[in-house]
Amino acid sequence: MPQLRLALAQVNATVGDLASNADLVVEHCRQAVEQGVHLVVFPEMVLTGYPIEDLAMRASLIKASRAAAEDLAARLEREGCGDVVAMVGFLDQAQDVTETIGVPKNAPTNSVAVMHGGRIVARQAKHHLWNYGVGDEIRNFVAGDTINIVQIGGIDVALAICEDLWRDGPSAAAKAAEAALLVVPNGSPYEADKDDVRLELCARRASEGECVLAYVNLVGGQDELVFDGDSIVVDATGTVLGRSGQFDPELLVVDLDLPAATPAMPDADERFGGLSIKRTIISSEPFAAYEPMPTVHHERMPRLEEIWTALVVGLRDYVHKNGFRSVLFGMSGGIDSTLVAALAVDALGAENVFGVSNPSAWSSEHSKSDAAEQARRTGLSLDTVPIAPIFDAYQEALHLDGLAEENLQARVRAVIWMGLSNQHGQLVLACGNKSELATGYSTIYGDAVGAYAPIKDVPKTLVWELARWRNQAATERGETPPIPEDTISKQPSAELRPGQLDSDSLPPYDLLDAVLDAYVERDLGSADVIAEGFDPALVERVITLVDKAEYKRRQYPPGPKVSRRNFGRDRRVPITHRWREKL
């Protein structure tokens, strides 16, 4: 059978930076050429970055992307990569589309360009536009109507783009066209446990198509989304032929022995499921026989390591891609800010992490000492600015009491953080977790202030799990655990009044997170939550807290999605409404 050396280039693209993204493509094509690769496949929309949201409809970006794709094809030829076939995702434009209601302005398409010999020899637009979860592509793109079959070295290669794979059709089309290989460029965001679903899908589609399937994905962070790579090649029996690592850029090279292409009728009008099949022959003669290379097959990360890495990558890329180098946040000595501190040090290096301790009259001694101990362990910078004199000055003018007095302390702290941020150019992190965000257990314009919230999609119970895991990982490597044990073991408290504990206002976190999983993650109504065995009074209390806090969540900073359903892009609920769950 003919041989084909395939490379999957999982790269970290930056939205809107066409020049740098083109450089990434050239760099990886050079590596591919050096390794004798015949076909290199890049992720979805790699040239523009992904997702580009409403930028897709901007005429200037469409024009720039189309020009950049043409220039890139010519550049690959100039730089000695013209013989390799490169499949590159980019923003294209549908032709002869009438602009009307329901059609995105300027008819943008989520497309792949097949580049060879200095030019684009084929183009394919995504057929099925992702419109659930965090996807909103029907708003931004026009669907394509063509399936490309590209013959390379006498082997027919079919093409599908991300969501197309999740729908019935592409595998059957590849089988109908007798393609031996189906390549799938993706921009598939990370969420915990998704890699198992992904592998099962790829194996099933390869079996349906009776072909080898190659799935390549982005890596890196983009606002609330993190891309984990996890590029995969499987054969028709479901056997994994190669699998990349997670979260890091990588060129995965896999040697394939594939059936030769069946001669097609010239100028035949082929169709499948309402789509036209377009055949392009780049080379019909098999490549010269060669010795296969060893195949890389990375193991999946354990679950907690995977989530930790996703949070680190999301934080790192948000900071760097937005032009910052360092971060600043309030270090209370509590578990949440302590976890954020450890994440920030892993993401950016201790020299770029600045904590601020703002003790009040109610701050416990162990909270102050725990913050200092973590600074000692990790090497981050810790500054102390007591808030009592500032708080007293406010109180002289305002005379607040009760909850208003408590929240004033949090807002004084926020003013200090933002002042230091403005002065020194450090990006402020909000340290709230998902359980607090769900129930409104945060002070708007206080501890909710910031530009990015690294653990906003991490429930409180998972916060403790991650803290224990990170310390254990450090111990196993012979390093100092970054999180003081006292921080993990003590009862959580906002310390805004004497003897205050979170349990004064919230149910125990194990119960709270279980109810939140049912109501928020799985979107169950109150009766269904109770049917799972929860106390009706508890369910009513939690649901009421969640429903009343929507206005706070809407003003909370973005943070990396790691769960099935995050607050923000995933869960969209009106702030103003009168629907109430009935028990």
Strands 219-222 and 108-116: unpaired
Backbone torsions φ then ψ of 413, nearest 5 degrees: -60, -45
Give me the catalytic one of 81, 126, 137, 436: 126
| Stretch (H or E) spanning 86 | strand 85-93
Q: Is omega for the bond preceding 359 within 30 degrees of 0, making it cis?
A: no
Strands 108-116 and 85-93: antiparallel
**What is the CA 389 to chain-centroid distance, rounded?**
42
Distance CA 219, CA 304 (A): 18
Q: Closest Cα partner for 559 from 230, 329, 246?
A: 329
Distance CA 460, CA 432 (A): 9
Give me the catalytic one of 29, 81, 137, 162: 162
Amino acid occupying residue 160: A
Distance CA 186, CA 215 (A): 7
- C-alpha distances (whole Å) from 523 to each of 17, 133, 381, 546 are 37, 12, 42, 12
Give me the catalytic one of 29, 44, 191, 250: 44
Active-site residue, 162 included = yes
Q: H-type helices in 425-548, by residue range?
A: 434-439, 460-476, 485-489, 509-516, 526-531, 536-548
- C-alpha distances (whole Å) from 553 to each of 330, 513, 536, 557, 570 are 20, 17, 25, 8, 13
Active-site residue, 126 included = yes
Distance CA 167, CA 265 (A): 28
| Residue 203 burial (CB count, 10 A) | 19
- C-alpha distances (whole Å) from 153 to each of 159, 281, 288, 295 are 16, 9, 9, 21
Q: In degrees to the nearest 10, what's the CA dihedral of 317, 320, 324, 327?
A: 40
Q: Are 386 and 413 in contact (CB under 8 A)?
A: no
Question: Which of the residues are catalytic?
Answer: 44, 126, 162
